[in-house]
Structure 1
Amino acid sequence: MTTSVSSDLYSSLGLTAQASTTTKKNDTLDQADFLKLMTTQLQHQDPLKPMDNSQMVAQMAQLSTVQGISDLNTTVESFQTAMANDQILKGAGLVGHEVLVPSTKLALETEGGASGTVAAPSGGQVTVDITDANGVKVKSVNVTADAAGEVSFDWDGTDADGKRMPAGSYSITASHTDTSGATTSLSTYVQAAVESVTVGTDGLYLNLKGLGSAPLDYVLRVS
């Protein structure tokens, strides 16, 4: 039994099925059309008021402009195709690796823990609160920031009582308390494994294990 694949499947994935025969309708004049119009104009001009040299030069300049725009469009289309192919290759090369991306979620597996990073504005104390799907805080991870810069944090996957938490997605928030006691909210970045890539109409997306998808340009680090 054979199964036919509808072109709607390609559309739903943001892709375009390749047709065996492509028919393109020209809605603009090309160089041949322009020359034909000029020849016809010369044949039907008023003998008592022939086209002067300035008019001829102006129309020839227009012809050159039309041809230049056509060549430029072809070059841009080729460049866009090359860029798209290069992006796909880069995305495919990330499969199986871990990437650092901005996220307010942590993915916990049945074994092991989860990790992430924040950017401390100065020395002080960084606190990362972890909450479950019901919004209940299960644990706070405290890390000392010696100075301004990147501060990594690790969660071993247990709650405040040392009990192993079930696998799943957990929300995280981070704050920084400086030496004067002032508190600042921080953005969070997490490590996630790349399972696959998806080509969308607006670019390439990485499918991250336990976190969903993220645009390729969200990646800050690959490990």
Structure 2
Amino acid sequence: MSLITSSTQAASQKDSGTDAITQALGGTELGQMFTKLLVAQVQYQDPLEPTDSSTFITQLTQLSQTESLQSLQSQLSTQSSILDSLQTMQLGSQVGSQVMVHASSVLLESSPVRAMVNLEAGAQLQLQLTGADGKLTTMDLGTHGSGDVAFAIDPHSLGLPAGRYDIAVVDANDSRHAVEVVGRLDAVRLTAAGTVALQVQGLGDVSPTSISRFAGQAA
């Protein structure tokens, strides 16, 4: 066998081995990069102190784990997108219904806005509305026992001009209670970021996680 033939066969075996490794790794960009590094590492290792084969196995295992994690991340991203689409369709069927939303602000126009708080124990309550100018308007809600306490915010009777107001309900101990505002679900949409946003009358865009209750169609 000539030297040229031997060299050709060696090169062919090397290429064949490289292709086999690449195929075993799925032909991915990460696999190809690892193959090149592996070949270079073998080619330039010290012949008197060759690299332990267990090192290559460890590197290959680490690469396999990395690719598995990337694949899992891709699958989770796809599943998340599917769930968002399903959620959008399900919420879309509720457009036109009355919903209750946990809110810290509300848009007051001419009509009264309905709201509610849920008490774990009896308390004397006060509604606080703060306008964009910082002016505070209060309304006594009376003393109530545990459970749901419904009330209405009438901007006309309170002498409030149209606008957005921060809303809070506090008790005699200045403890705040979560406020649920009633509004009509006007639209459901997917944002540019891929998240679901709900457009609720009097509140604007809110997250689906802010919805506390579905109250059904308005009478």
Range of TM-score over shorter length = 0.5 to 0.7
Higher helix share: 2
Q: Which amino acid aligns with 1:207?
A: Q
Q: Which amino acid aligns with 1:116?
A: A
CA separation of 1:42 and 1:131: change in aligned 2, threshold 3 A: closer
Q: Which amino acid aligns with 1:31?
A: G
CA separation of 1:89 and 1:143: change in aligned 2, threshold 3 A: farther
What do the CA deviations read for 1:100-151 (whole angstroms, capped 9, x no partner)?
11244364566xx4321013353254444679999696x9464551x22321
Moved more, 53-62 or 206-215: 53-62
After superposition, the CA RMSD in angstroms is: 3.8
What do the CA deviations read for 1:56-98 (whole angstroms, capped 9, x no partner)?
3233323323332332332233233233323433442332111
Unaligned ranges ≥5, structure 1: 1-27
Count residues with an aligned counterpart. 184
Partners of 1:57 and 1:33 in 2: how far apart? 16
Matched, 1:216 2:208: yes
Match of 2:179 among 174, 188, 197: 188
- Greater Rg, structure 1 or structure 2? 2
Which residues in structure 2 correspond to 1:64-103 (within 5 Å)?
A: 64-101=64-101, 102-103=103-104
The match for 2:188 is 197
Preserved CA contact (<8 Å) 1:115 1:153: yes
Give how far 1:32 is off.
2.7
The match for 2:114 is 115
CA separation of 1:144 and 1:185: change in aligned 2, threshold 3 A: same
CA separation of 1:81 and 1:45: change in aligned 2, threshold 3 A: same
Which residues in structure 2 correspond to 1:120-139 (within 5 Å)?
A: 120=119, 122-128=121-127
Q: Percentage identity across aligned positions?
A: 23
Q: Which amino acid aligns with 2:182?
A: Q
Partners of 2:55 and 2:129 in 1: how far apart? 76
TM-score (norm: length of structure 1) = 0.61
The match for 2:148 is 150
Unaligned ranges ≥5, structure 2: 1-27
Give how far 1:220 is off.
0.7
Partners of 1:133 and 1:174 in 2: how far apart? 18
Q: Which amino acid aligns with 2:41?
A: Q
TM-score (norm: length of structure 2) = 0.61
